[in-house]
Structure 1
Amino acid sequence: MRFLSSTLFLALLLSLTTARAQTIPSPKEHFGFNIGDNYQLATYTQTEAYFKKVAAASDRAKLVDIGMTEEGRHQYMLIVSSPENLKKLNRYQEISRKLARAENLTDQQAHALADEGKAIVWIDGGIHATETVGTHQLIETIWQLVSRKDPETMRILDKDVILLTHANPDGQELVTNWYMREATPEKRSLDNVPRLYQKYIGHDNNRDFFMLNMKETQNIARQLFVDWIPQIMYNHHQRGPAGSVLAGPPYRDPFNYVFDPMMVTGIDALGAAMINRLNSENKPGFTRLGGSVFSTWYNGGLRTTTHFHNMIGLLTEIIGGPTPEDVPLVPKRLIPNGNTPFPVTPQKWYFKQSIDYSISLNYSVLDYAARQSDQLLYNIYRMGKNSIERGSSDYWALSPKRIDAIEEAYNKDPKKVVPPSSAALAQYGMIPRGGGMPMKYYDTIMKAPVLRDPRGYIIPKNQPDFATAVKFINALVRTGIQIQEATADFTVAGKKYPAGSYVVKTDQAFRPHLLDMFEPQDHPNDFQYPGGPPVRPYDAAGWTLAYLMNVKFDRILDGFDGPFKKLPYGELQSPEGAIAGASGAGYVLSAKSNNSFIAVNDLLASGVEVYRLPNGVGEKSTAEAGAFYVPASAKAKSLLDKSAKDLGILVTGLAKRPAGSMTKVTPMRIALWDTYGGSMPSGWVRWMMEQYHFPMKVVYPNDIDAGDLKKKYDVIVFVTRAIPPVGGKEEDIFSLMGSEAKVENTPAEFRPWLGKITATKSVPQLKAFLEAGGTVVTIGSSTNLAYHLGLPVKNALTEMTANGTERPLPGEKYYIPGSVLRVNLDSTQHATWGMSNQSDVYFDASPVFKIAPDAIAKGLVKPLAWFDSSKPLRSGWAWGQSYLQGGVAAFEAPVGAGKLYAFGPEITFRAQSHGTFKLLFNQLYSTGSGNPSSVAPVAGQE
């Protein structure tokens, strides 16, 4: 009876388990259509409900809420594995982290952990919401993994833990609702979505993964770099190059020189598995290497940042969507070669085909991970261990500049022997057989003590804008970097540092990312052929974050130690602020600190008077030109106490009011240009203004064309790509600029956003606004406004042709994609208050100006920033940079009673360039004259 009871119990348990599995709804049952059906898309609301149903019904799935989005939705990650693995999920997560960080492990211990662990594989979808294959393959993949019982799926579930993550919930809701609004399926279109599919930054949500400003990127980064650290991450995108179905790994050169070579060859191995799977299933059209534009140079993308963390980061870009389309005829794509071994022929293409390809690709990755799980786990450990060893010993990294230096040393050596042939010289042992230079030229560069990679970096607490330095530290923390903090004063290399300074050592697993944030990028000179045009980098060529944020740090070349405590991984830091000194008369806030602008805006919003000190403050309380002065009052003290604590700023109390002139700060009515479809640069600035508490209003071209601008606004900000060039138009490939959407096809609520800035309608209104006393701030290509207004400035980057006409410098002579350059400034000017006399700026084929000396002498134009060096490059790639010398990067010009500010560099670039934020912020206050004898009320009064 006892045996019978046990048998009945097991049968009942089995039947209940089977019944539970049978309750998992298929996509068809939940959404009402199959994933991949023509003209059908799912909303995020529907997708979220499906994830919850699957997690509740399947013993193969666990739903994790990884955080909130910018629009307030829950962002989910569905973890899929075998029921047995899910019971031990914490252990497998622990193993993954231990191996990735490679701390205090022997090779033998690492092998044991790799044998015990499971491969952790990340698959995401939907980061770019109009790329609808990404989101929908995620849904279909989940269904396949929780419902299939074939041997391959069961092996995958047994050996892998799969993190299936939705990258952009807000975007899916917006785009699907836009597409599905048409009742007639054939009329549905993804074109002309009215706003960005991420609240602030749209497509740039895939450019935020080392800065991590947005909530969605913070949520994802926590999983990738702190909590899980998967060995493989797969990032789904669109769209494939014309004439192909998809682009995938491996990718074209150059790859970044800080990578461990095993990461690069790991991509090769996964790429082979992916293309082989498609070929075996008779699915043509996979192109790779030079068949697409995608490389592994850039840091900052969802896929690319993982490369700097020893993860095998995969990207595919596939064609397709809910509306059927055509694979176009591109004859050159039809010849098989190493880029595209199995070309696709021109044909009609359907959504379901793209979904099927994506499932095959996912399964190829998951199957590879299942078969090679122990190797993947051990390899990420080995890469981390390599980084630790390189960071704890003398190490010289190779780069194009180092190679050039070796060749230069050889070419300049007057005693060098130029052999008649390599073989002849080899017999004397001077060069290796087969060619080459004597070893001494290598040793001159690659063993020079001063050219070693640093053992670490020290970020002193006593720097002008420590609060911004802490923001930099937090960007490192969020990307899994180990940070140490000094618990007492200490000395390294003869220099004293205060307690509270941060120390970042390079003997850690994620050393590639760490170096990439502190050290300059050295992009190779990359041309289509010798003397030909340049090959454009996929995104930026240089981005050194410590430079862009103006963080003061010291590179330490030798091993060092001190009273340092290691901070827990992922623990964000908060700077300490205070009010120092007697404050009987008032308070001073430094204009060098970005967070001072937040405090000032909060004071102004509460009705507290604030002044600026054009000549600073002398005596013991030294402050720079443009510092803020707040007369003493109970309200001011209460607000500043809170600001000092929350913002980490140092507020200096003054016993007596400053001598000399001061100007009263008045809030301005700020307008920020945007366009139908959304401008990413505008969205970044909107987010920045919210963070720094500047009240503003978004305006559109029709608002500008309506006129009477001075009655509504005091300052109008035009980010790059707002103002077209004289005699032409400028297009933003990620924004429709409001010119493509037709009024009759646009819902009434969005029609006021249509239109574009024009020379005939908009520029006259802007001129009238300026003449009436308004301020216009232009950034990047929107400095075109200076030419529309006829100001005495010219393009500095031109040459005369043989026939006497002027033309822009050709790419063969001058080419600077996104890179970091250094400019000189006059920091005594109102526009540049709080800046140093030199600053690093983000430069992306940015405008540079030539100003006639008499225009400067007459006060028609005032230079604010300029290039005084023939080699201003700090990080990236600058071909022909000597052409910049003497050019003006930024200027101000009076126009009637108002002022135009023109900033050629991208001073607000992706909200990363904290070092140049003040060049915008300074222009957002009205600073009329103030009377120093009347600005200090009795202490305690408001």
Structure 2
Amino acid sequence: MRKIYYLMAMLMLLVCTELTAQQIDQAYNQKIREFTTDERFLPKSLLDVVDHPTIPSPLKHFGHIIGAEGHVHRSSEIYGYYQKLAQTSPMVHMQEMGKTEEGRPFYVVVIANEETMAKLDHYKDQLAKLSDSRKTNPEQAERIILDSKPVYYVSGGMHATEMGSPEMLMELAYRLATSSAPDIKQITDNIITVINPIMEPDGLDKQVDWYYRYTKGREFIDDGFPRSPPYWAKYVFHDNNRDGLQVSQEITKSIFKGFFEFHPTVMLDLHESVPLLYISTGTGPYNDYVDPITQSEWQVMGNHDVAAVASEGMPGAFTWAFYDGWWPGYGIWVANNHNSNGRFYETYGNSGADTYLRDLSTARYAGDLATSKEWYRPDPATPLVNWSFRNNINYTQVGVIASLSYAANNAKLLLTNYYKKGYNSVEKGKKEGPKAFTIAKNQKDPVMAAYLAGQLLVQGIEVHESEEHYVVLTEQPYRNLLVSLMTAQDYPKDAKFPPYDAIAWTLPYLYGVEVEAKDSIHFEVSSLKMLTEAPKYSGKVSGDGGTYILPYHAQNTVLPALYWLKSQNKNAEISLLSKQTIVGSDTLFPGSLVLKKINKNQASSFASEFGLDLKGTSATIQESDQQTVSLPKVAIYHTWYNTQDEGWSRYTFDQRKIPYTSIDKDVLKAGNLKSKFDVIILPRTRGNLKNFVNGVDKKFGPMPFTKTAEFQSHGMPASTNDMTGGPGYLGMDNLRKFVEEGGLLISFDNTSSIVAESGLTPELSPVSAGSLFHPGSIIRAKARKSGHPVLYGFPEEFTLFRGNGPLLQTNKYNRNLMLVQYGSKPLKDEVPYEGHIMGMPEKAKVDKEEKKEEKAKPYVVSGMVRNEQEIVGHGAVFNVPVGKGNVLAFTFDPLHRYLNHHDAPMVWNAIINWDRLR
């Protein structure tokens, strides 16, 4: 016993000696005290910043501490500091992970003790072995775990206005690289910390410029002045955290690259929104395909971190009552989807480095006041809080250090769980159905079939192929994610709290691809070939003759192919068939295209580049059966107060290589729109007609968004000398004139309501459906006019994706304006009356046994809708003639987040047929 006491005493002496040997930076600590507004917000554990002789602290590097009032940093400054750390410390390694859309680099910073850093590749290899139980059996895994270290990935700055984490992570990195405090040393000895300093560098730079240009020093935070620039990345705003299924944006690609390189055991994403510190677990319902181990880890780690913050005497930390845990498309869910653990924090933020008195008195989460004492929030904040930037830094840093310490203390457990989750997934693939998914290559849109196979590859899912199919076997480590992506979601109707985001994501429905689930395998697996890169369908040209036929099935690539053809050959003649036509031995459906005056090389390039099968023919096609296609000049409108969905629209057009012009309020006010454009698209935007017409409050103007020598990130991807104001009623009247003069106006989701409110489409009126709850789900729709050009290539019934959005309707005598309705049943006022009609002969009674009504298919295909009777029968797409032109009003978003590719061809059809929709 004496020996044990002696060893403990010696250990304590060594620790104290080491701490004494390190010089504490009293100037830095004093500044921390100065910028923290309450002693309860300042944990003693953070007041041990080291004054290192060779590694520069943020104070020495920048001249001010992290969290100093009025100071934030651009991406080049932040990366410059990490580069200095990497140059001066052998514990810090920095590597590039790619480039943003605007050309800025993405970096990750790796920190561990020197011995670990020397063996970094070895540890990465060990984690890769643990990720696949088909290659590593349980006995081998036990040995590997003893020679492995968890990777803990911490990321910040995904959302540009959430400015605390990119700053805090610099101070954390310095602390990890210099401190010999026992908890810090345990972290650097036992785990590998990977820091993603700025997840969205383009957005951060725009936000920093915005802060210095407009919001620094404003007296009140809630004065109506915009706290964010209109753009973050080139395309995507807040939805950069909703791209985990598409993996379309460069930010998401860099996250995925980091995951598959390091196989992090835990990923923690740092956000800002709610007071004072939320540590994720979620209220549920949890995603059906997240391993129970992960769900339990959420609880353990969440409560551990709350307890750690409470142990420092800091109020306002809580878990549970924010977010649900269902949608798998968040950036950090790359971890939860791949047998790791993805978590996030929400710290209170001021969208800058100023101090404000914040009112929390009415804020509620999961029904409870943010200031109420609950089982999940043992020490709430007061209703009013004087909140500084440094407070934010303190809270986030204490939580992250606590979380890193948990990983350091439970390294073996986390690694064991990581292996077991992959093992469980493989075992489910062996023992449970489905055993495989097969995707026929020959489909109505074979390009989308290949795209689906490629998207599975992006997710790390193994895909094989035979001559006729892509084959996905479920006996693999990411089996749970595979089944989640390929089968329908069943969100519980009785969920107590509303979902945090969309609730359905079944890719075959979203892509319009036929997939067959196999409960048993009746083919030779050994004959399959493993795909190593995304497949690409190349169309072919068959037959002979100078005329080329393209059978039409609402393929996604037809419209860009036509624009391409015209760019290569301005004399090419394009026409389409408006009715079913027999050409030679082929029966062609409406929308099929006839291409003339093109050579064989152009036809071959058209087919192979766009995945479209052409047939050459010398058969005569009646001119009366053809309608000339005149490709229009297209514009996509954006407001200056909300660019989220127009960004997705622009991204879709750019990916599809469809030419367009981006326009704003000034273009609408200038008028003469029909002389410039044939089609104008109004993507979904926030708010109502008042917001749309007036835009950003003019009392704040003029407010330029222009690139200057001082603010070099502004002016992209669009610029203006004054963001304030909107198109006004002059601009709205010019939109009306555009349509009256023969233009096509296409509105998505709530802009259809805005157009109706403006009086441009008086036939459309809002529908009151107060009990309808329609979170993003895949539902069934029915064509009311199957032969209409907008519906070329679509069957009578089909699926589409719809969220909570506007509901519009017309009077019964105008129902011919409805092209598509929700569900297959008619509205009540359209159900035929079957009783006796006075003044008319009595109808013969029909025996109920003889009368067989076809049972309507379920409205919800994937997801959940409450009180669906409120929407079934109402219009999904309206075509309203106005003067010589038309308004095509979608009451959903057919270009939603580059996900619902199956819905998009209705827009492509409208553009191809823009001048004959009447």
- TM value normalised by structure 2: 0.83
Q: Of residues 681, 694, 700 in structure 1, which corresponds to 2:658?
A: 694
Same amino acid, percent of matched pairs: 24
- Cα distance in 1 for residues equivalent to 2:442 and 2:531: 24
Structure 1 counterpart of 2:804: 845
Contact 1:671 1:697 in 2 (8 A): yes
Contact 1:247 1:318 in 2 (8 A): yes
Write out aligned runs for 1:221-620 (5 A): 221-224=256-259, 226-240=260-274, 244-290=275-321, 292=322, 294-321=323-350, 322-330=353-361, 332-345=369-382, 346-394=384-432, 453-486=433-466, 488=467, 498=468, 501-526=469-494, 535-563=497-525, 571-588=533-550, 590-606=552-568, 607=570, 608-615=572-579, 618=582, 619-620=584-585
Q: In the alignment, what sits opposite 1:645?
A: 608
Letter in 2 for 1:629: V
Measure, in 2, the Cα distance between the counterparts of 1:620 and 1:563. Answer: 38
2:281 partner SS = strand
Alignment equivalent of 1:738, drawn from 686, 692, 696: 696
Native 8 Å contact 2:444 2:553 kept in 1:
no
1:356-391 deviations in Å (ceiling 9; x for gaps): 222211211211111111111111111111111112
The offset of 1:822, in angstroms, is: 1.3
Query: Which segment drifts farther, 64-73 or 864-873?
Result: 864-873
- Rounded to whole Å, the distance in 2 between the matches of 1:695 and 1:821 is 31
Residues 412-462 of structure 1 deviation map (CA, whole Å, 9 limit, x = unaligned): xxxxxxxxxxxxxxxxxxxxxxxxxxxxxxxxxxxxxxxxx4222101101
Q: Give secondary structure in 2 for the equivalent of 1:915.
A: coil
Change (3 A) 1:649 1:564: farther
* Change in CA separation of 1:122 and 1:697 when aligned onto 2, cut-off 3 Å: same
1:721 to 685, 701, 706: 685
Question: Which residue number in structure 2 is paired with residue 447 of structure 1?
Answer: none
Aligned-residue Cα RMSD (Å) equals: 2.7
Residues of 2 paired with 1:76 and 1:59: CA distance?
A: 18
- Return the alpha-carbon distance in structure 2 between the equivalents of residues 886 and 194 of structure 1: 41
- What is the rounded CA distance, in whole Å, between the counterparts of 1:639 and 1:81 in structure 2? 57
Report the Cα offset of residue 587 of structure 1: 4.6
- Paired position in structure 1 for 2:148: 117
What one-letter code is carried by the residue in structure 1 that aligns with 2:480? P
Distance in 2 (CA, whole Å) between partners of 1:546 and 1:284 is 47
Residue of structure 2 equivalent to 1:868? 824
What SS does the aligned partner of 1:874 have?
strand
Counterparts in 2 of 1:657 and 1:509: CA distance versus 1, 3 Å: farther
Report the counterpart of residue 21 of structure 2 in structure 1. Answer: none
Contact kept in structure 1, 2:462 and 2:476, CA below 8 Å: yes
**Corresponding residue for residue 491 of structure 1:** none
Native 8 Å contact 1:588 1:653 kept in 2: no
Determine the structure 2 residue equivalent to 1:626.
591
The partner residue of 2:769 within 797, 803, 809 is 809
In structure 1, what is the Cα distance between the partners aligned to 2:622 and 2:760?
41
CA contact (8 A) 2:132 2:477 kept: yes
Q: Cα distance, 1:899 vs. partner?
A: 0.8
Letter in 2 for 1:810: G
- The Cα shift of 1:44 comes to 0.7
* 1:144-195 superposed Cα distances (whole Å, 9 cap, x missing partner): 2222222322221222122211311111111112212369756798935442
Cα distance, 1:775–1:56 mapped onto 2, change above 3 Å: same
Amino acid paired to 2:895: T
The one-letter amino acid paired with 1:708 is: N
Structure 2 letter corresponding to 1:625: P
- In 2, the alpha carbon distance for the partners of 1:647 and 1:50 equals 46
Per the alignment, residue 140 of structure 1 pairs with 171
Structure 1 letter corresponding to 2:346: E
What is aligned with 1:178? Answer: 210
SS state at 1:717 partner: strand
The 3 A distance-change label for structure 1 pair 180 and 115 is same
Question: What residue in structure 2 maps to residue 36 of structure 1?
Answer: 67
Match status 1:882 vs 2:882: no
Structure 1 residues 740 and 764, CA gap change in structure 2 (3 angstroms) = closer
User: How big is the shift at 1:897?
Assistant: 0.4
CA contact (8 A) 1:675 1:754 kept: no
Whichever residue aligns with residue 540 of structure 2, its letter is A
* 2:234 alignment partner, one of 199, 209, 222: 199
1:157 aligned to 188, 200, 217, which one?
188
Q: One-letter code of the match for 1:312?
A: N
Tell me the CA shift for residue 882 of structure 1: 2.5
Give the 3-state SS of the residue equivalent to 2:629 in structure 1.
Answer: strand
Paired residues of 2:788 and 2:819 also in contact (CA < 8 A): no
- Structure-1 residue corresponding to 2:758: 788
Secondary structure at 1:914's aligned position in 2? Answer: coil
Asked if 1 retains the 8 angstrom alpha-carbon contact of 2:285 and 2:495, the reply is no
Q: 2 CA distance for matches of 1:881 and 1:70?
A: 41
Question: Residues 703, 585 of structure 1: CA spacing in aligned structure 2 closer, same or farther, 3 A cutoff?
Answer: closer
User: Given the alignment of the two structures, is residue 208 of structure 1 paired with residue 253 of structure 2, yes or no?
Assistant: no
Q: Secondary structure at the match of 1:64?
A: strand
Q: Which residue of 2 aligns with 1:707?
A: 671
Structure 1 residues 838 and 101: CA distance shift in structure 2, 3 A: farther
Q: CA deviation at 1:863?
A: 2.1
**Equivalent position amino acid for 2:342 in 1:** G
Structure 1 residue runs without a partner (length 5+): 1-19, 395-452, 489-497, 529-534, 798-807, 930-942
Q: Distance in 2 between matches of 1:668 and 1:192?
A: 38
Any idea what the Cα deviations from partners look like across 1:685-733, whole Å, max 9, x if unmatched?
Answer: 01111112222122223322332221222111111237835xx6589xx
Cα distance in structure 1, aligned partners of 2:115 and 2:528: 35
Alignment match of 2:788 (pick from 801, 816, 829): 829
- The reply to whether residue 901 of structure 1 matches residue 881 of structure 2 is no
Task: Tell me the secondary structure at the aligned position of residue 238 of structure 2.
Answer: helix
Question: Aligned partners of 1:184, 1:680: CA distance in 2, in Å?
Answer: 25
Deviation (angstroms), 1:200: 0.5
Deviation for aligned residue 1:232: 0.4
Give the match for residue 713 of structure 2: none
Query: Residues 851, 335 of structure 1: CA spacing in aligned structure 2 closer, same or farther, 3 A cutoff?
Result: closer
8 Å CA contact retained: 2:67, 2:390: yes
- Structure 2 residue corresponding to 1:86, chosen from 109, 117, 125: 117
Q: 1:793 to 1:252 in 2, by over 3 A?
A: same
**Alpha-carbon distance change, 591 to 187 in structure 1, aligned in 2, over 3 angstroms:** farther
* Aligned-residue offset at 1:827: 4.4
| Alignment match, 2:101 | 70
State the secondary structure of the residue aligned to 1:558. Answer: coil
Displacement, 1:617? 5.3
